[in-house]
Chains A and B, each alone.
Chain A
Amino acid sequence: MTPSPIAPEQRYSALAMALHWLLALAIVGAFGVGLYMTGLPFSPARLKLYNWHKWAGVTILSLSALRLLWRLYKQPPADLPMPAWQALAAHWTHGALYALFFAVPLAGWAYSSAAGFPVVWFGLLPLPDLVSPDKALAETLKLTHKLLAYGLATLVLAHVAAALKHHLVDRDGLVQRMLPALH
């Protein structure tokens, strides 16, 4: 019943795990808030959620930079045995996920700048505007941010589905690579 246990060297590092789960939570949260807030009428709640969403986006962006640097410094464990096409699909999905970790928040930040609302991280740190205020550009960036976010959501679902498939069908212990050893 239990998937085959994996050796410690086959696990991701503790920092990689921490960043993976923290970012998973942040990205799902920011996506959910993003979907919900756009439907709200003009209100303090809407203003609050928009700002939280922006703060979360900048946090995701900076943690993703840290995560990428760490990944370059400390290589992930080697692939588990699996058909070549699956390994290739996994690598391409991971590459695209990383690209979107940066592209989605950057598009959102640029959209906020173009709309004339600078981002002030946690209400304390004013960030530079990525572009000058421009209504037409703001509309384009809004759509870009939205489409990229949907793209990211799709890839996250594919990623979760693949992980579940490894866990429930292949039972190869792959998921444990991203979980701390409990014993």
Chain B
Amino acid sequence: MKTLSTTLLALASAAVMALTATPSSAAQAKPATVPAVTLLAAQSELGFISKQMGVPVDGKFKRFDAQLSFDPKKPETAKVAFTIELASATLGAPEFDAELLKAPWFDAKRVPQAQFLSTAVKALGGGRYEIAGKLSIKGQVRDITVPIALAQAGGTTTASGGFVLKRLEFKIGDGEWADTSMVANDVQVKFKLAFSGIAPL
């Protein structure tokens, strides 16, 4: 009986310490970060071109967000976390958009977001960078490398780039849609992301 109450007391005090400790450690972490970098959603675009029986079909995502820490002087320390709301995909036709949400395509109910987490950033010079990272869609994780170019105007930094995504690696267009003679495996992804709060290059 005594041991139980002692244990409970110890647990309780540990919990209190943990709770009080959390905000203070977070507060300590803040000054260390560079000025907040914010994605300017209205000026950003994330599109993709798929090929259906040779016909290029333009699509885009309407909702996505990026967390970025980037010091132009130390680009190799940069970190990017990018999330995409799969349910915001559109091909411009409502009947197709409804299909994209379903299990064979994005299965947006099961895993609502796609995510890219950078693992390494390499400066290539001239405002060009190569970002390696892990892309996860529909529970499938793959390593990808994305070349980007940065351009600054006013207080806005625009990162543009693109890469070829192999849709079957992520089970996008599964089952009867896996036939690449109908829908090509290669999907061209292209983006233009505008950020505020990045220091001059």
Contact = CB atoms under 8 A, between A and B. Distances in A.
Partners in one complex: yes
Interface of A: 42-44, 47-48, 51, 115-120, 123-124, 126, 133, 135
Contacts of B91: 116
Interface of B: 52-58, 91-93, 95-96, 99, 176-177, 179, 182
A47 B184 CA distance: 13
A47 B54 CA distance: 12
A44 B54 contact: no
Contacts, number: 38
Contact of B93 (A44, A116, A119, A124): A116
A123 B93 contact: no
A117 B53 contact: no
A116 B91 CA distance: 9
B96 A123 contact: no
Specify the main secondary structure of chain B where it touches its partner: mixed
A42 B53 contact: no
A116 B55 contact: no
A174 B53 CA distance: 43
Contact of B55 (A42, A51, A133): A51
A136 to B, nearest CB: 13
Contacts of B176: 43-44
A42 B105 CA distance: 12
A42 B99 contact: yes
Nearest to B54: A123
B95 A51 contact: no
B53 A123 contact: yes
Contacts of B95: 42
B92 A44 contact: no
Given A48-B182, A123-B53, 6 more contacts: A42-B96, A48-B53, A116-B57, A116-B58, A116-B93, A120-B55
Contacts of A120: 53-55
Contacts of B179: 44
A44 to B, nearest CB: 5
B27 to A, nearest CB: 51
Contacts of B99: 42
Cβ-closest 4 pairs across A and B: A123-B54, A120-B54, A51-B53, A42-B99
